[in-house]
Amino acid sequence: MSELSSVLLRRLRTVYVDQAGPRPGDPSTAEGLVALEGELLDRGFAPTAQLRAALAWLGPAGLADAGRQLIRHIDAELGADRTHMPLFRSFPASVPDDTFQLYVDRVFTLLLQWPAQPCVLCGTVGGVHPVAPCAHLVCRACWDGADYTGCPLCHRRIDPADPFLVPAEPRRPRDVPAGPLKLLALGTDRAADTVHTLRTLLARRTPLPPQDRAALKVLLDHAPADLGWLPEEIPVRETKAFVLGTLLADRHTRAAVTELFAAYLTTATDVLRLLCVWSGGEGDLLEPPRLRSLPRALRGRLLAVLDALAVPSLVEDLLRHPGPWKRAAEILHPFEHHARHPRAALAFAVLRGTDTAGTAPGEALLRTAAEHPEAVRVAGDRIRAATWGARVEQALHERDAGAALALLAQRPGELLRRLDHLLRLRELDTLPDEFADVLRRVLPKAGPGPLLAALGRMRIRHLPGERRVFFPRGQVTHAFTADDTRAPLAASVTARACALLEAEALRRLAGRPRFDLAVLDSALAGLAVPAAERTAAKALVSVPRGSTQPLPEGAVLRLFLHWMQPVKTRVDLDLSVALYDEDWEFAGLCDYTNLVYGERCAVHSGDLTSAPAPDGATEYVDLDLAALGDWGVRYAVPVVFSFNNIPFEELLDAFAGFMALPSAAEEARGAGYHPRTVRQRYDLVGDSRIHVPMLVDLRHRTFLWTDLHLPSDDGFHNVYRHGADLGRVGRDLFQYFASGRTTLWDLAVWHAAARGDEVLVVRRAPDRRAVDELWRYRRHEGEPDTAFAARVRALEPPERREPATDAADADTRAGEAAAKKHVLLALVHGGVAPEGATGAVYRLLPGPADGCGLEPLAAGDLVAALG
């Protein structure tokens, strides 16, 4: 399967059948097709009727080739293409209860055992032999070679040909839960699908996560060379730089993309991002690369772009990234043609502190500076900046609310980021009319990200805060917490500010195409609006950070970790789970130092300390959810860390995730990796050594997706020693994400209220004893969008309620109500499948909705509609 076909399969679930057809005399492929369908079902996939017919047409060779490629891609996506064998092959049944005694036996043997001597543990003569490659002396009677996959003493992987390893018995097939089924459709136009997917990614209003950036690179490599597909606007500047830089590096598109510089490069930072991508780096400017030289014509084009910018913003942009810009000056040569590009030369003179005394270029710079007193000032023989940011900080420092508001109104995004600070400059009982008027005037110019973030913060600022959590920009997501010492704002102030922000969101959506009906899942309230996706882990299910979701159905939650070390470098990753009670007090742990917690409520598969290619290493932790609750455990915090401090980015392969197992009986689980039970799989990447993927609430059977990296210098390698610190991190994150975030429920309601008059809410049962219901809302005569949205969002009494027998029945009824209509579906589980409908669907988890012909949407697409 080509790289492009692989990307389209992952994103659109389309399969392109271009293998050779049958030849005269070829046997029937019916049995082979049934076998392929069985393999797909084992992995949670099924072909549509059109795809099945296309596969059935192939000859035996073509079907075999198509099947191999398809299964290979799906296995790679699920992590099932690797060898998964933990330290104890009969996990969890063979994991010993007493980890300390096991440790004593290992150390005793390591220190006292000599070659050609009886076993120091059991006294057996002639049963002690070294194992390869570590050469530790292992007694065959004390240590079971049919159960261990590594050295019993050091836990490093053993050479597969070592006689200590006894071939395992064939695994018996085990029952696994059905899980969601994902449909695979037949692809008919690869070029059109490529352009459609490209435009969808480029319309996003948030930075692309790693897996989307990788897909974008592949799509650009196969995009038409005429650039007619390129949208007029690419909202995210990092994405824009990546696209322009990639096209600029291709000699087939270089001339065409150069002509577009003036339209797309609207700030000096855009130019710097482009130079970084041109030089093989990233457009995020976190780690700028060594800049490559430029052809003379291209250098002139970029200087012309800089010269056409407003001088105040040009100077500020250069000062924002002084180091990279000084290196950029070495390849742009701005003073070489200072007369042709005077404003660009002026900005670089400010950046470099150029001496203007006694030279013709210096006199020219002084004349240009005199033309722009709003941006620069002359201090002796140097030209200094007079920046907008300095004036804002001065106004805030002096608590001059009027001046600060007037300045920030010039940049709506900054105004929204500092809205809380502005409102704290003086005590307010109500939001002043002049302040509200400024907000109304500038909000249409603000981006969706600042708008949604400000709304989430304002909703809780009338309440006393406990802890604040900060997520600084970086390659991976770190978090820092501090006490919230801010005084609460007046409820009337926050209410009016929120009303203005919500009204702006509805105004933007009112101009989008309308729907006959919107079907919304009330469980969307647990999903946060995506933000800072650039640092999100590449995952099987793209859950926005800060989202709370139910745990998958099953008695046992199995966490897994797999990694493969580079050649000549031993890497020891560890999977641990810290356990806490109701008050976040440390209750215990399940890790390599304590393989079993309680009465086998949590069981660790053993500590493998090396992962050589090609098999790598795998660790599991099984959590018996009900048993842990009976032992007084409320929260579980999984942690993946690099014990010997090798960063994840240096590994050949590293990923983790979780699966749901139906039975708590250890004999029924086994150590197998069942692809269809995998509910989440994410890559471990970046310059990080410790990762906390989620926080599990055992009482409510939910998990909070955190995707958080912790600093290795804080000592979290030892979970027991830092259990209390880890508990504080967990408590702070739970409090932070529990409120103060705009959710996909908010966003879906705004779409529904602004773009239609009828809304059907699949009201999910608040607890397991209740039943799901269908709530029907219809716009009242003359009811504005804001009032309609407020009714639906608050789940006020609807015009009609219809109880359902269960979740499946609710989804079926919702599908019948939406049949043959132009609809918007916004769902957690894709269980609503309206027959004959048109429109669009967002769903977090796959289901029948994928096969009903609606346009698939990602969470970022819902945000992008805000323009």
Q: What distance in Å separates the CA atoms of residue 604 and residue 94, rounded to the nearest whole number?
A: 11
pLDDT above 90 (res 668):
no
**Measured CA distances, 26 to 20, 62, 65 (Å):** 12, 11, 15
The pLDDT of residue 413 is above 90: yes
pLDDT tens-digit series, residues 360-381? 889 999 999 999 998 999 988 8
* Residues 662, 706 within the same domain: yes
For residue 503, tell me if it sits in a domain: yes
Copy the structure tokens of residue 625. 């959810």
Q: Of the residues 78, 104, 139, which one is the last residue of a structural domain?
A: 78
Two structure tokens written together for 102: 């096991």
Phi, psi angles (nearest 5°) of residue 365: -65, -40
Q: Which residues pair with 341 in a beta bridge?
A: none
754 and 700 co-located in one domain: no
How far is the C-alpha of 49 from the C-alpha of 500, rounded, in Å? 49
Six-digit token string for 161? 């040909």
Please give the backbone phi and psi of residue 287, each rounded to the nearest 5 degrees, phi first. Answer: -135, 80
CA dihedral 739, 745, 747, 752 (to 10 degrees): -150
**305 and 446 together in one domain:** no
Q: Which of 143-152, 329-338, 464-473, 655-664 has the lowest mean pLDDT?
A: 464-473
Is residue 496 domain-shared with residue 521, that is, in the same domain? no
Report pLDDT for 167.
80
- pLDDT(626) > 70: yes
Which amino acid, one-letter code, is at 8?
A: L
With beta carbons less than 8 A apart as the criterion, state whether 525 and 745 touch. yes
Kindly indicate the confidence band of residue 488, based on its pLDDT and cuts at 50, 70 and 90: very high
For residue 145, tell me if it sits in a domain.
no
What pLDDT is recorded for position 476?
63
Read off the pLDDT band of 174 (50, 70, 90): low
What is the residue whose two structure tokens read 């063979």? 94
Give the pLDDT confidence score for residue 716 in this predicted structure. 59
Does 564 have pLDDT greater than 80?
Answer: yes
pLDDT confidence bin for 289, thresholds 50/70/90: very high
Number of domains comprising the chain: 5
Q: Return the structure tokens found at 743.
A: 């959710």
Which of residues 792 and 166 earns the better pLDDT score?
792
Burial per residue of 567-589, b for 16 or more beta-carbon CB atoms within 10 angstroms, e otherwise = eeeebbbbbbbbbbeeebebbbb
pTM of the model: 0.85
pLDDT for the residue 687: 84
Range of the domain at 34: 3-78
Return the structure tokens found at 693.
């993927």
Residues 716 and 805 in one domain: no
DSSP string computed for 499-535:
HHHHHHHHHHHTTSPP-SEEEEEGGGGGSBPP--GGG
- Residues 708, 649: Cα–Cα separation, whole Å: 16
pLDDT at position 667 is 82
Identify the pLDDT of residue 726.
Answer: 87
pLDDT for 663: 87
Q: Examine the fold and report which residue of 354, 378, 399 is the final residue of a domain before the chain moves on.
A: 354
Q: Which two tokens stand for residue 658?
A: 């979780």
Q: Parallel, antiparallel, or unpaired: how do β-strands 758-763 and 517-521 relate?
A: parallel
E strand or H helix that includes residue 103: helix 99-112
Neighbours of 146 (CB within 10 A): 13
Largest CA distance in the chain: 96
Q: Which pLDDT value is given to residue 737? A: 86
**DSSP letter string over 522-577?**
GGGGGSBPP--GGGPPPBSS-PPTT-EEEPPSSSEEEEEEEEEPPTT----EEEEE
- The SS3 assignment for 838 reads strand
Tokens of 475: 């390659």
Judge if 641 and 783 occupy the same domain.
no
Are residues 449 and 498 both part of a single domain? yes
DSSP string, 669-686: H-S---GGGEEEEEE--S
**How many Cα atoms sit within 13 Å of 312 on the Cβ side?**
12
pLDDT digits (tens, 9 = 90+) for 669-711: 888 888 888 899 999 988 888 999 999 999 999 999 998 888 7
473, pLDDT greater than 80: no
Residue 176 has pLDDT above 80, yes or no: no
CB 839 within 8 Å of CB 827: no
Q: Is the pLDDT of residue 756 over 70?
A: yes
CA distance 377 to 768: 68
pLDDT at position 434 is 93
Cross-strand bridge partners of residue 843: 827
- Whether pLDDT at 177 is above 60: no
Q: Is residue 200 part of a domain?
A: no
What pLDDT is recorded for position 741?
85
Percent helix, strand and coil across the chain, each to the nearest 5: 40, 20, 45
**Residue closest to 187 by CA, chosen among 53, 14, 52:** 14
- In this prediction, residues 751-763 reach a mean pLDDT of 97
CA gap 761, 224 in Å, rounded: 42
Residue 787 clears pLDDT 90, i.e. is over it: yes
Residue 110 lies in a domain: no
State the alpha helices, DSSP H only, in 173-209.
190-202
Is the Cβ–Cβ distance between 528 and 536 less than 8 Å?
no
Q: Give me the residue label for tokens 């290493």.
A: 617
Residue 632 shares a structural domain with residue 561: yes
Structure tokens at 695: 């926080």
Q: Are residues 675 and 542 in the same domain?
A: yes
**552 with 777: CB under 8 angstroms?**
no
DSSP string, 588-643: EEEBTTBSEETTTTEEE--------TTT-EEEEEEEEHHHHHHTT--EEEEEEEET
The burial of 209, by beta-carbon neighbours within 10 Å (0-12 exposed, 13-18 middle, 19 or more buried), is given as buried
Alpha helices in 186-310 (DSSP H): 190-202, 210-221, 237-249, 254-258, 261-264, 268-278, 296-307
Q: Which of 722, 755, 784 is the last residue of a domain?
A: 722
Query: Rounded to an integer, what distance in angstroms lies between the CA atom of residue 676 and that of residue 568?
Result: 35
3-state secondary structure of 722: coil
Q: What is the mean pLDDT of residues 818-836?
A: 95
Instruction: Please choose, from the candidates 635, 522, 632, the residue with its C-alpha nearest in 3D space to the C-alpha of residue 578.
Output: 635
| Pairing relationship of beta strands 678-683 and 653-661 according to DSSP bridges | antiparallel
Rg (CA), the chain: 30
Q: What is the pLDDT of residue 1?
A: 67
Q: Are residues 348 and 418 in the same domain?
A: no
Confidence of residue 533 (pLDDT cuts 50, 70, 90): low
Residue 223 — very low, low, confident or very high, per pLDDT cuts 50/70/90?
very high
Burial 272-301 (b: 16+ CB within 10 A, else e): bbbbbbbbebbbbbeebeebeebeeebbbb
**pLDDT, the chain, mean:** 91
CB 291 within 8 A of CB 264: no
- Lookup: tokens for 86: 């933990």
Instruction: Please report the pLDDT score of residue 711 as a whole number.
Output: 78
Q: What is the mean pLDDT of residues 345-356?
A: 93
Q: Does the CA dihedral 298-304-310-316 come out positive or negative?
A: positive
Instruction: Determine which helix (DSSP H) or strand (DSSP E) holds 658, and give its type and residue range.
Output: strand 653-661
* Partners of residue 703 on adjacent β-strands: 549, 696
Q: What is the CATH number of the domain that holds 628?
A: 2.60.60.30
Tell me: the pLDDT tens digits for 549-562? 999 888 999 999 99
558 belongs to a structural domain: yes
For residue 49, tell me if it sits in a domain: yes
- Confidence bin at 6 (pLDDT 50/70/90): very high
Q: Tell whether 687 and 542 lie within a shared domain.
A: yes
Is residue 620 one of the residues assigned to a domain?
yes
419 domain-assigned = yes
264 and 343, same domain (yes or no): yes
The answer to which of 441-445, 507-511, 590-594, 720-724 has the lowest mean pLDDT is 720-724
Residue 133: asked if its preceding bond is cis (omega within 30°), the reply is yes
